[in-house]
Amino acid sequence: MSGEHPRPAGELLAGYDLPSSQVEQFESYLALLLRWNARMNLTAVRQPDEIVRRHFRECIFAAGLIPPVVHTLLDFGSGAGLPGIPAAICRPEIRVTLAESQGKKASFLREAVRTLGLSAEVWDRRVEEMPAERLFDGVILRAVDRMEEATRLAIRRVPVGGWIGIFATHATEAALGNLAGVRWEEAAAIPETEQGLVKTARRVAE
């Protein structure tokens, strides 16, 4: 260790043209994430600079892809709040539901929502336990287990015409193409990554 200090999140987010209030929220989110990550495994990425580069920047990019017609968004398998919390910061007009069934992670999400003053709520059970009639304008998934199965469940949470966003790679996107009930759009390459993609789709009548 050379005694170097991590660069502020705001410096690493330069170029995204975020209002100062949102930069401050990301700074607070990073501090909270680091503090909680010291005692529980929220993310395997533990260096502040890398959290900003590999998590925040990718999720900010994805937030920009959410269409204006999405007013309610489900973050399916939110974990440490990625990508739902960056979406709630960057797109405050969207009401975000952070779905996370692991109790400790759900507790972190509640604290993050409270500390950051987000327009968001936490669902601390499995998404399958939501009332069947509860739908969202959009749903987004990132780094969830059993992605194909999770995507099938996620599709059911938007109406026909609803928006779906999925973090994928060139290696995993082919499997998603076989899913019924969606019309895929052109995937967007995540900047500064070799393989990262955000695949978007609309639900269609089956």
Amino acid at residue number 168? A
Q: What is the CATH number of the domain that holds 22?
A: 3.40.50.150
Render pLDDT for 179-194 as a digit per residue (tens, 0 to 9): 889 999 999 999 989 8
DSSP for 3-23, please give it. -PPPPPHHHHTTTS---HHHH
Closest residue by Cα to residue 76 from 146, 14, 9? 146
pTM for the complete prediction?
0.93
Sign of the torsion angle spanned by Cα atoms 47, 48, 53, 55: positive
Q: Is residue 2 part of a domain?
A: no
pLDDT at position 2 over 50: no
123 domain residue, yes or no:
yes
User: What mean pLDDT is predicted for residues 64-93?
Assistant: 97
Domain tally, the chain: 1
Question: What's the domain range around 114?
Answer: 9-203
pLDDT at 166 over 80: yes
Could you tell me the pLDDT band of residue 1, with boundaries at 50, 70 and 90? very low
Pull the structure tokens for residue 199: 């695949």
In the predicted structure, residue 116 carries a pLDDT above the cut 70: yes
Q: Give the pLDDT band of residue 8 (cuts 50, 70, 90).
A: low
User: Is residue 1 a part of any domain in this protein?
Assistant: no
On the question of pLDDT at 4 being above 50, the answer is no
What is the average pLDDT across 79-84? 96
Q: How confident is the model at residue 7 (pLDDT cuts 50, 70, 90)?
A: low
Residues in contact with 14: Cβ distance below 8 Å, sequence separation at least 6, in sequence order: none
Mean pLDDT of all residues in 65-78: 97
Does residue 108 form part of some domain?
yes
Task: Work out the percent of the chain whose per-residue pLDDT is above 70.
Answer: 94
